[in-house]
Structure 1
């Protein structure tokens, strides 16, 4: 969203903001403590109240954007098994990767609520209907959210596919050299391929939700519409 870039430029005009950001970066990159002077991380800069509320909206949107990327990277946890020779079984790896994915979906819902709170604080009468939107998200991702709640409150995630990976592995332990290892590996590859494809499709759906959020913010938050128009004007006036 062009508006976020323009807003970051606006922050640089706040006295002390740019210097604090540079100082924080320097402290983070001082891996060996070679910088002279105190190495304590500088404290936060107090923004003017209105800009602070705008900042909350932008940062929470960016956190939502980052979370979509995190969901998409879950695909690659399924695409390879990096634990040969280590005490992490294939069924444990599969179960843990599923739980990571479910948690990321749940986090999207919670961060979406946090974003709505920030918008409400900035523009109390924005007129946007976020409630039905959040309910639609919960409906679309009902299986993932219910699975997350199960593992958070009751027990680790298991389904029929994971049980089959587990049982074929156990059979190979009890009856070695009887073909069970090949059976497990083949089924594991099949299951992980299906999960990778599923996450790719769900990631595309998350993109659609994120795009809808961005469009709603541009309509309901005047400062973002202004920032977007400013950035587009700069692009139009830039040398070709």
Structure 2
């Protein structure tokens, strides 16, 4: 690809305003990719320090804000900032989750109700609240893109961790509703379904053979998925190149899940 063509490709998001909720491995990669392609970005996280660090790494076109996805007032303030600054949004990527019930020893009979509710409060209520606040801002700009980071746990059976899978499956249902209900008004919605995604913080706290074990669970043996892989797919879907892709669960998981 010549330099002129590459330059055009790398600015696919020029003039777009995009909000991300959920900093850290994938969230930071999303912010960096969006900024590199020309977008203005608002990165939010319950951990304000994590949001600020991610925004600093992304560059001057990325702002940071504290947001608790499960708190309606906090979500309203976050998206209210986007409306005040940009008059709306061209894209939103909901990239957060509570993993507290995704424990290898917890099944239907051992998972506590408190742990189940805590996970649902973030993964179901939080996704609902953020989507409900973001869609009007997409409509204000004449349409846009809603993305949700999903999980292979929603697509395959497991002896444990079913509470997490249930909560992430709810995001798939919400995504299809948004795509179907608001498609005629220019809104596209998709889920990027992840398997194991390796990033520095995860590897720093994992057992030495973690990456090898993660690779063993994939069909594709090239390498384990990285945050940058998810960001590349998200950037394409946010751009005009994704103009006819909507209502889909798109797996970025090395083939660990397969379906028609």
Fold in common (TM above 0.5): no
Q: What TM-score do you get using the length of structure 1 for normalisation?
A: 0.33
Higher relative contact order (CA 8 A, sep 6+): 1
More strand by percentage: 2
- The structure number with the bigger radius of gyration is 1
Q: What TM-score do you get using the length of structure 2 for normalisation?
A: 0.31
